[in-house]
Each structure stands twice: as structure tokens, then as C-alpha cells.
A and B are shown apart, each in its own frame.
Chain A
Amino acid sequence: MPRLFAQRNAKFPVVLLSLLVVLALSGGVFAQDAAPVALRMTAWDVATTPYWQALIDAYEAQNPNVTVELTDLASADYQDVVNIMLSGGDTTDIITVKDIPGYSAMLTRGQIIPLTDLIEAADLDLSVYSGAAEELTYEGEIYALPFRSDIWILYYNKDIFDAAGIDYPTNDMTWDEFDALARQLTSGSGADKVYGGHFHVWRSTVQLATVQDGENTIIAEDYSFLAPMYNMVTGLQADGMIMDYGELRTGSIHYSGVFKNAQVAMLPMGSWFIATLIAAENAGEFDFDWGVAAYPHPEGVAAGTTAGTLTSLAINANSANQEAAWDFIQFYTGPEGAQVLAETGNLPAIRTPEVLATFAALDGVPEEAAEALQTTTVRLELPMHPRVGAIEQVLNEEHELIMTNSISVEEGIAEINRRIAELGEE
């Protein structure tokens, strides 16, 4: 060593310094010294949802001592399975929060830990989530950070519109106009029939539109505000303008199939469907032009008002690696994670201009998307409530009865009012 200095090699200190800087910046030299950490995380439909692994790969590249393993669950009963896992003392570190009922169930039962102190310590700015963080705050504490935020939009088949010689839907369309348009676009019969609209079997496809005005929420005392939307949808169904609910239900018919088969002209659905459609188009599953427009809105409500869902990450109270899990969550829900998520064709909860630009520039994203995804107000599908699970059960059952014409819209709403009031008495 002394010989090196003796040689007065002027380059040596510079090389050494820059080497140190590079190593420090990459973080690799320190991370490699850290003990290996193995994290586990719950997820759904891993095989058909590319972003889970993409985000993990990005994180692992930066943190070579950490491995994250996904526990793959079926989407339809994800929350049921997670509830059973957590009740049994499962130690999976990171719990993906799929919806608000699941979130409130887990936090009221102390199964996920409050993140408020960690957020303060890390000095995170929650305003980047444009209001989503407030929706997740319960009694002053926040228990999960959102990474994905989907909004409801309208998908349409351009070829069907062109064939009918009708203008594409605009970003400012009322539900009444949607109703009229759906009736105009329905044609044919039997196997060749094209339906003007499509309402998937979920309760939310009908009920979301009833809370767009912000005057009511799905947890209420008087549900008469549901009537106009149910009257419209059951009317469309009775006249054969949309597919029959009972058949969709018993046939387990998925909305993606009917849209890809060009059986429907307009489909109100969440923005997660964009990525699915791009992948299907690239795989050659269909070849027609499709577009997106803003979610229709009730008369008197500003255009661009829509409903949304949040997908968030929480830390299991039983996790042995809470610190490592928190580091992972910060990456996943932060700007870097948002960039990776946008590249997979999904809408991150952080909507910076760069992220939206990345999303809009993706191959296959329709040109209208940039404008259709501009929202004025986003309402959450379901607000926080301790009995939200039981309330949702009632709403689901009565939705099914109304949609199968087992009872009239008025009877259904009367039943909902009566049963929700009884829940409150318990």
C-alpha cells in the first residue's frame, strides 16, 4: 500500500472515491452485509396479474438481501381466506387490502398495525394520494397505504358504434343518455345479438351510480335513492337491452368474455380492465377498436365524477419482520413503485403527471384514456363502518332478488330499509 502512495498515483484517490460513491448510491454494498430477510405477502390471481411480481422484482433488485414471496389466493374469495388465515394467527408479513369491508374488519380486530407513527417518522407526504389516505383513516389512525387506485369508466366497442353510425360516447354523458344510447345500439337476435350495455352481476355496477352525487352513501337509513338506477337497469333488462342477470349469474359469465366477443357495445367497469384488454388484444383474442370514456353521471352532477376502489398494503400484527415489511411497503406505495405499476398498465394511487404520462404512452392504451381518466371527484365504493360486512350481505341479497325480478324495486328497497334498521337494533 505505501508503495502506491509513494508512486504518487494521482488517479488513485479519485478512483477510490468514485468507487465508494457508486457503491453507496447503489446501496448494494451495505445491503449485502445485512442479514437475509424473507417476506411473504398475500395477493390474488398472480398468474393473470403481472404487476405483483414486477414490483417485487424492482424492489429485490435494490435490496438483494430481501426476498418477497407471494401467497396466491383466488380473487373471488380472497378476503374470506385472508380472514381465516389471520384468525388462525398466520404470520404472513404484508397483507394486501382488497376492499374497504376487508380493511375495516382487519383493523377493528387489531390484525393489522397502525402506520401513523411510522409515516411520521419517515416524513411521508400523504397528499400525493389525492385524498385516498383520508378515506383510509379511521379514528385518527391509518392502517394501510394505497398503491393502486382504480376508478370506474365506460368501455365501448368502436366497431359496433361505427356500424350503427352513432357517435362515440363523450366524457360528459348522463345515465339517461346512456340508457337511450344502449337502446339504440342493441340489435340482432339469438347468438348474433349485440347488447347496447352491460351490467356485470356485482351489486356495485348498479349501486355505485347512486352515490355519485355525494348526497348519499351505501351505508344509509333510507335507501330510496337507489330507485332511479334500479328502475333504469331493470327496465333495460326487461326490454332485452342488456344481458339477463340470472343468466350471467348461473352461467358464471365474466364481463371480459362478453366484451371481447363483441357482444356488448358499452361496458361500465373499473380501470383495471384496461390492462386486461391490452393484454388480450396483444394476444390476438379479439380484433376490434375499443375506446374509453368517463363514467356516466346522474343529471346535475359534474362530469368526471366517478366511483373508485383502493388497493392498499398493510402489515400483519403477527409479522416477525415488520420493519422490513414497512420498507417494502414504502417502495411499493411510493413514487418508484407507482412508476413500475404504471408501466404494467395499471393506475397507481400516486397520480403524478409523470406517472400518468407513462401510463398513457403505453402500447395499446386508447388515445381517449388520458382525458377519460381525468376525474373531478372520486367517491369510495363503501365507506368505513364497523358492520359493513353485514350491511353488504343484506345489500347483495336484495340486489340479487331485484335483478332476478323476484321482487319489485320498491319492495326491494323497503326490504333493505327494514333489514338494515334491524341490524342497527342488535
Chain B
Amino acid sequence: MSTVSLRQTTIAAGKRRSHFKKYLVAYSFILPNLIGFAIFTLVPMVFSLALSFMNWDGANQISWAGLDNFRRLLTDETFGISLRNTLFFVSGNVPLTMMASLGLALLLNQPLRGRNLFRTTFFFPYVASLVAVAVVWNMLFFPSAGPVNQVLISLGVQNPPRWAASVDWAMPTVIMASVWKGMGYYMIIYLAALQSIPSTLYEAAAVDGANGWQKFRHITLPMLTPATFFISVMLIISSFKIFDLIMVMTGGGPGRATNVLVIHIYNTAFREFRFGYSSSIAMVLLVMVLGITIVQFYMERRWVKYQ
């Protein structure tokens, strides 16, 4: 009896040890990334949170500001404009990118000739340098002699838009460039999801006499919801964070027509040296993105269907 229990204890301890060992290996794999995350993301985030309640010009003494920075947001005209612009960009970029990438994935899931070539072609913008993409788009949409407006004029359009050089069209131009650049990446995710749909479902539907639209509506779309969920979360977060493409294409202009929140954060911090105030804008952005993401996860079980 005693020998048995002793053996059992030994086995249990050994199991714990081996469990611990197993996790140790896992942790050691995560550690490099975790250290990087802590140093380059977590610490600056906590610092930025603290800074949002203070005044700091980046060199002199830091002073306590309390809620002053957040109160100032209410009267800051540029903050209001950049918030509106950000929401405009998100509401354009997210649905259009999703539709474009789904459309491409559906097309390139067909047994086309040269399918891999097309897939590579549509993925290419995603790997291309962002500055190059921005410059090429600005050339394509050059107001007078650009190829796009040449085509529009030859089609009989009297006064084609002046695209990035006009207050009304600058944001749509940026959104188009962003959709074009991002759609290839999300297309790959949709393609992977499409290929994991069991063909038996379509065969069963065919036997039941379903037409193409019905198959798409009742099999493809529901089976794609996990991918759609993932894409919508990632896309909304990245759209709120848009900075680089706009900085290169329009610099936030003309005037403040494409001034988005992150550009406002950048200008406030590095051109006006109000690090405290710019941190408070960053906090508002963080809370907004976090809130939307939480709501998305909360809504997930209502519409996302896992097999």
C-alpha cells in the first residue's frame, strides 16, 4: 500500500515536472517576442497613458495637467476634423477592401487558366513599397495629364475630379489606393477559407437543386464568416491607425482634408512638442479601437458560424 502510494506520488511529481518543463519550453519560445513587446510596446503605452495627464515638451520638466488635455480635445477644431476624417476613411476602406478581396478570392478560386499568375499579381501591391505605391497613385491620378483623367475626358467627362489635389476628392483617392494595396492580402485569407469549405456541401446542395446564388448565399457566405470576422477586426484596427499612405500621398492636405487622427498625433507631438496633449489624443484612439473590437467580439457569436 505504502509503496503504491509512494509510486503514485513519484509519478504525479514527475508529471508536474514534465508539465512545467513543457511550459518552460513554450515560454522560452514566446519570451523573445514578449521582451520586445514589453520594451517597445507595453512600456511606451503605459508611459503614454501617464503622459496624457501631463504637460511635456520633450525636453523640459514634466508638469501635471490633470484632465486639461482631455478637456482641450473638446474645443480642438483639428481634432474634430481629424476624427471625422478617420471615420470617413474607416467607413470607406473597410467595406470596400472586404468586398474587393472577397470578389477576387471568389474569381481566383475558379479553375481559371493562369490562376496562380493572377493571384500573384493581385497580391503584389501588398508587398510593394508603400512610398512607391503612393507616388504611382499620385501619378495615375495626376489632375490634368494623368492616365485616369485622360480616360475620363475621352469618355466625355467634362470636368474630371482633381483627385488628391481637391478637398472633396482627396479622401476617396486615398481610400482607393488603400483598397488596392490591401486587397491582395485579405484575398489570400479568403482563398484559404474558400478552399477549406467541404465540397460535399455543394454536392448536396446541387442534388437539392440549389442554383449558384443560393449556394453562395447559404453555403459560401456562412462558411466564410470566421474569415470575415478575422478580416473585419484586423481591417478596422489598421484603418483607424492609417498614417503612412496619407502622409506620403497628401501629407494630410489639401488643408486638413485628409488629416486623420494619427497625423494629428504626429503633428502635435513632433511639430508642436505637446507630447502630453498628443498622448491624450492617442488614448482616445486606443479607447475607440478597443471599444469597437470588444463590441465585435461580443457580436461574434450572433453571426459567425464555426463548423
* Chain A residues with a Cβ under 8 A of chain B: 80, 83-84, 86-87, 105, 108-111, 244-247, 249-252, 387, 389-390, 393, 397-398, 400-401, 404, 406-407, 419, 422, 426
Contacts and interface: CB of A to CB of B under 8 A. Distances in A.
Contacts of B135: 252
A250 B255 contact: no
B241 interface: no
Interface stretch (B28-36, B116-124, B159-167): B159-167
B142 to A, nearest CB: 6
Contact of B267 (A86, A110, A246, A393): A393
A244 B167 CA distance: 15
Contacts of B271: 80, 83, 389-390, 393
Interface in B244-294: 249-250, 253-257, 267, 270-273
B101 interface: no
Given A109-B59, A109-B60, A250-B143, A404 B272 contact: no
B144 A404 contact: no
Contact of A83 (B139, B164, B249, B273): B273
B138 A252 contact: yes
Interface of B: 57-60, 72, 77, 135, 138-139, 141-144, 162-167, 249-250, 253-257, 267, 270-273
A252 to B, nearest CB: 7
**Chain A CB within 10 Å, residue with most, of B143, B165, B256:** B165
Given A83-B58, A109-B60, A422-B77, 19 more contacts: A83-B270, A83-B271, A87-B59, A109-B273, A111-B59, A244-B143, A246-B254, A247-B143, A247-B165, A249-B165, A249-B254, A250-B138, A250-B141, A250-B163, A251-B142, A389-B272, A397-B253, A397-B256, A406-B257
Contacts of A83: 58, 270-271, 273
A249 B139 CA distance: 11
A404 B166 contact: yes
A84 B59 CA distance: 11
A393 B272 contact: yes
A109 B273 CA distance: 9
Contact of A404 (B60, B77, B165, B249): B165
B59 A86 contact: yes
A389 B139 CA distance: 31
A365 B267 CA distance: 40
A246 B138 contact: no
B245 to A, nearest CB: 14
Contacts of B58: 83, 86-87, 109
B273 A404 contact: no
A244 B144 CA distance: 9
Contacts of B270: 80, 83-84
Contacts of B59: 86-87, 109-111
Contacts of A397: 253, 255-256
Contacts of A426: 72
Given A246-B162, A401-B167, A251 B253 contact: no
A395 to B, nearest CB: 11
A243 to B, nearest CB: 10
Contacts of A80: 270-271
A111 B272 CA distance: 15
A406 B254 contact: yes
25 contacts: A80-B270, A83-B270, A83-B271, A86-B59, A87-B58, A109-B57, A110-B59, A244-B143, A245-B165, A246-B143, A246-B162, A246-B165, A246-B166, A247-B143, A247-B144, A247-B165, A249-B253, A250-B143, A397-B255, A400-B253, A401-B254, A404-B167, A404-B254, A406-B257, A407-B255
**Chain A CB within 10 Å, residue with most, of B60, B135, B273:** B273
A251 B138 contact: yes
**Chain A CB within 10 Å, residue with most, of B166, B256, B271:** B271
Contacts of A246: 143, 162, 164-166, 254
B165 A250 contact: yes
Contacts of B163: 250
B133 to A, nearest CB: 14
A73 B77 CA distance: 33
A393 B266 CA distance: 12
Contacts of B254: 246, 249, 400-401, 404, 406
A401 B249 CA distance: 16
Nearest to B173: A250
A34 B270 CA distance: 40
B152 to A, nearest CB: 16
A86 to B, nearest CB: 7
A404 B251 CA distance: 14
Contacts of A400: 253-255
A251 B165 CA distance: 10
B142 A250 contact: yes
Given A251-B138, A252-B135, A406 B273 contact: no
